[in-house]
Amino acid sequence: MSPVGIGQAVIPAFTRLYRLATQRDCPNGHRSFGGFNSDAVCARVRISDFYRAVRECLHAQRDLKGELMKTARFLFVLTTVTLCLLTACGGQIPNTQTAPVAGQPASVEQQTSAPTAEQDDLAAPVQPEFAPFCETSSSSGCQSPDVTMIDPKYCVEKVPYVIISVPPGTSYEALDADMECVDQMHSDGNLRVTCHSLSGKDDWTYDLKLCNVACNPPALEVGTGQCPEGYGYDAVKVCCAAPLPASADGCTIFQVDLTVCFGE
């Protein structure tokens, strides 16, 4: 029975019950019995109708209660199914975020997890940027000039001279202010260098520095921060190079021994 039908049955039942409880005459037109009024018959008729009306009201109440329970169960099931559907839909949201559509911004989870590699790089110490290393040149293997003694005792007016021979392209420098040297190209293609004492000293030893001019070590700037430690910056070639050791600069120190001139 629908709620409308239950209402149509309950309302007349309660109306009839109310009329039976309040009326004074016999119901259903039983106003006399056997030609005279009978209060006993009237009372039995009223009580019978009253009980019938009460039973109808109780049946209507049970029907209404059953319908209400059915409605409550239906609403409970509907609410449960709705919540399940909403929960299932909510659980699929992370899956849709893991595959974003092209052209759309990435999810917050992807944006926060992507910079992990960059953060690792930032945590590592920053390496300074240096200039490139210079290419190895022939100057790193320069050879000092070969010195050949031509005349260890050459006297002019009792002043001792020393004559040596060196390859062409050799520079020389007297490391003592009292010694003077001059050079002259010889027919054999070598350079003849003649040294003597300006003060006329004899039996004395001087140092003469001889260098191969083909060896031109670059002027390196150290401590500029443009090269790693142990290297110098070559501003001409814009690169870093290791300073050449003294033995590799193409120079040598030659000892000039002046002897004593006797009556010459």
Q: What is the CATH number of domain 138-258?
A: 2.60.40
Residue 19's φ and ψ, nearest 5 degrees, are -65, -40
- Integer Cα distance of 42 and 26 in angstroms: 5
| β-strand partners of 180 | 196
- Average confidence (pLDDT) over 217-232: 84
Work out the pLDDT band at 35, boundaries 50, 70, 90: very low
pLDDT 10s digits, 154-191: 888 888 899 999 999 899 999 999 999 999 999 999 99
Region 135-147 average pLDDT: 71
CA 26 – CA 32 distance, rounded (Å) = 9
The model's pLDDT over 239-250, given as tens digits with 9 standing for 90+, comes to 998 877 665 678
For residue 16, pLDDT beyond 50: yes
Neighbouring-strand partners of residue 174: 208
Q: 91-135 pLDDT, tens per residue?
A: 554 444 555 555 555 554 455 555 565 565 556 667 778 889 887
Q: Would you say residue 2 has pLDDT above 60?
A: no
**DSSP-assigned letter for residue 116:** H
Residue boundaries of the structural domains of the chain: 3-85, 138-258
The edge-to-edge listing of strands for the beta sheet with 148-156 is 148-156, 159-166, 191-197, 179-185
Query: CB of 53 within 8 A of CB of 20?
Result: yes
